[in-house]
Chains A and B, each alone.
Chain A
């Protein structure tokens, strides 16, 4: 190799962003580049001509020495990973970040007239190593939180199951006792005691009916969300819900085509409540229409009747629990059932002209089969 050529090579190796050290077979350092000089604080003059183990003591240790031996014995390049050898080359300052984690490659080569040599390359892998450590920490944290959530979920499921059982047994026993009570009350009323006793007995019967309604509501409310939501064809839903003696003189018209909505199975009850409300509170309702309007990211189902409508002063309260002239639970329950799958209901009718309910169905919870 001419001295000019060697000088060019040497200059090039000095500009590389990796540490480079070249040694002979007897481990004498013949080249020590600028980068390694910067990282270690050991100058070229201090390193070159010295024995590698004197400048980089880790290479004096048994394992590193035997790996180096393999290179000169024809084993090919050797890699010393940052995992097993975090820092082979000493650092200028212990606190410095540059070169904190190093990956070393030692590769043999032959120089004519100079025999076997090995080039030791030092890569600074601090950034990637610390990034992987952070990533692993985040991943472990997520895995831990997920496991915690699963444990909580299982505990909640068990608690819910116990509560459901308790509520169900209590309701069942309560209804049995109430039926007995209602029976005796009936016997007494059939004897027509008259006077105040008659009045009190009738009030007791009203209370009994109210208690039964509360128990029924409790059952319905408990069932809400227990079953997985399924798809319902709106026209069929309206048709199936609007049956019974109360709808005998009512025309119910549904124009929602093949629209289907994702809803809790109690949607049948919710639809029945809305239709029954239209008849019960509409006073002279004879016609109910169910239609729909497609929006950019939702669909609105409109249910309107030609009854008396909702008075302005009551509009804000009709969905509250306990409000109303019947059970006071119908519209509250309806809103809750719709809410399970993200549907929202509002009343937008004109008092005196009829009630109008708008149900907004969010994206992903409605579909038009056959239209995709």
Chain B
């Protein structure tokens, strides 16, 4: 599918706005100085490219916070972070002491909140494209290799929007991926509305 540069720029801008907004919230939440950047946004085909692009964590597992939605666009938005990095991220954000060697129940809960702040902000940023609200499921946490969310698999998502996301906290840099997987219809809708907004302005 041919995607115009304007659309990619629009998507990049919406992701950046959302992520930037979430950085402020995370700073406030954790009282730690966190910088979030999105150095790369790319569109990919779910069947041919997604698995290899999301396989950054191989051979380790990854921690994923996933939000599923349906409506004018249907799909899911995941924050994917290599598992060990995710533990470090939580430990840095909470200022915990001791050995950060495993993701216990409290750390999972904390990561879900941090992931949720980012995902919600990005979703909120994309909501300007919508004429009616989406329906959401509760965010879930998953560990392992990235696989398509079974909750939306029936919707046959075809397009992926991949945004590399960098957390800078203290002197550490942790890299993750924000990944939208949406149906072709949703992507068409997204493209159309982005182009319309660009034409008429916000």
Q: Annotate A65-84 by CB proximity to B: 1 below 8 A, 0 otherwise.
A: 01100110111111111111
Interface size class of B (residues with CB under 8 A): 20 to 34
Residue among A84, A108, A110, A125 with most chain B CB within 10 A: A84
A218 touches B (CB below 8 Å): no
Expressed in whole angstroms, the minimum distance between the Cβ of B79 and any Cβ of chain A is 13
Quick check: A84 and B110 within 8 Å, CB to CB?
yes
Decide yes or no: A74 and B123 within 8 Å by CB, A79-B116, A83-B106 being known contacts. Answer: yes
A256 at the interface (CB under 8 A from B): no
Give B68's nearest chain A residue, CB to CB.
Answer: A76
Chain B residue nearest to A125 in the complex (CB): B109
* B29 pairs with A84, CB closer than 8 A: yes
Say whether A81 contacts B113, CB under 8 Å: yes
- A105 & B133 in contact (Cβ 8 Å cutoff): no
Tell me whether B35 is interfacial, beta carbon within 8 Å.
no
Cα of A32 to Cα of B150 in the assembled complex, Å: 34
**Chain B residue nearest to A116 in the complex (CB):** B133
- A213 within 8 Å of B (CB atoms): no
CA distance in complex: A151, B33 (Å): 37
Query: Roughly how many angstroms separate A80 CA and B138 CA in the complex, as a whole number?
Result: 12
Q: Is A145 an interface residue (CB 8 A)?
A: no
Please name all residues of chain A whose beta carbon is closer than 8 Å to the beta carbon of B64 when the two chains form the complex: none
Q: With A74-B130, A76-B67, A108-B133 given, is the CB distance from A63 to B29 under 8 Å?
A: yes
Q: Is the pair A84, B119 in contact by a Cβ cutoff of 8 Å?
A: no
| Given A67-B120, A70-B124, A83-B110, 11 extra CB contacts under 8 A | A63-B25, A73-B127, A75-B120, A75-B124, A76-B69, A79-B112, A82-B106, A83-B94, A110-B133, A128-B106, A140-B99
Does A103 make an interface contact (CB < 8 A)?
A: yes
By Cβ-Cβ distance, the 7 closest A-B pairs, closest first, are: A74-B127, A75-B124, A75-B120, A81-B113, A76-B136, A83-B110, A81-B109
Whole-angstrom CA separation of A311 from B100 in the bound complex: 66
B197 in contact (CB, < 8 A): no
- Within 8 Å by CB of A76, from B25, B29, B120, lies B120
Q: Which of A11-19, A131-139, A342-350 contacts B (4 or more CB under 8 A)?
A: A131-139
Which positions 128-171 of chain A face chain B at CB distance < 8 Å?
128-129, 132, 135-136, 139-140, 143
Q: For residues 160 through 196 of chain B, which have their beta carbon under 8 Å from a beta carbon of chain A?
A: none
| CA gap between A120 and B136 in the complex, in Å | 14
A interface residues with partner B (beta carbon < 8 Å): 62-63, 66-67, 70-71, 73-84, 103, 105, 107-108, 110, 116, 125, 128-129, 132, 135-136, 139-140, 143
Contact with A along B107-142 (1 / 0, CB 8 A): 001101100110111011001001001101111000
Cα-based distance from A75 to B136 in the complex (angstroms) = 9
C-beta contact mask, B81-115 vs A, less than 8 Å → 1, else 0?
00000000000001000110000111001101100
Q: What are 12 sample pairs from A and B whose C-beta atoms fall under 8 A apart?
A: A66-B28, A67-B25, A71-B120, A73-B127, A76-B67, A76-B69, A77-B116, A81-B113, A84-B29, A84-B30, A132-B104, A136-B98
Task: Decide if A83 touches B104 in the complex (CB within 8 Å).
Answer: no
B99 touches A143 (CB 8 A): yes
CB distance from A67 to the nearest CB of B (A): 7
Nearest Cβ on chain A to B107's Cβ, whole angstroms: 8
Q: Are B105 and A81 in contact (CB under 8 A)?
A: no
Inter-subunit contact B139/A77 (CB<8 Å): yes
Tell me what chain B mostly uses at the interface: helix, strand, loop, or mixed: helix
CA distance A62 to B25 in the complex (A): 10
Interface centre among A62, A74, A107 (most CB of B within 10 A): A74
Which residues of B lie under 8 Å from residue A135 when comparing CB positions?
104
A74 to B30, CA, bound (A): 24
Please state if A140 and B123 are interface contacts (CB–CB under 8 Å): no
Assess the B134–A76 pair: CB atoms within 8 A: yes
B109: A residues at CB distance < 8 A:
79, 81-83, 103, 125
Distance between A201 CB and nearest chain B CB, rounded to angstroms: 70
**Structural contact, A76 and B123, CB atoms closer than 8 A:** yes
Q: Indicate the member of B112, B120, B123 with the most A CB atoms within 10 Å.
A: B120
Task: Report the bound CA distance from A81 to B94 in whole Å.
Answer: 12
Supposing A74-B127, A80-B113 touch, asked if A107 and B98 sit within 8 A by C-beta, the answer is no
Question: What chain A residues lie within 8 Å of B99 (beta carbons)?
Answer: 139-140, 143
Asked if residues A77 and B138 are in contact (CB atoms below 8 Å), the reply is yes
Q: How far is the CA of A73 from the CA of B128 in the complex (A)?
A: 9
Residues of B within 8 Å of A63, CB to CB, are 25, 28-29
Give a binary string over B27-47; 1 marks a CB under 8 Å from any A CB, 0 the rest: 011100000000000000000
Report how far A84 CA is from B137 CA in the complex, Å.
22
Inter-chain contact A75/B127, CB cutoff 8 Å: yes
For A107, give its contact among B28, B119, B127, B138 (CB under 8 Å).
B138
A140 partner residues in chain B, CB cutoff 8 A:
98-99
A74 engages B134 (CB within 8 Å): yes
Residue among B29, B113, B123 facing the most chain A CB atoms (10 A cut-off) = B113
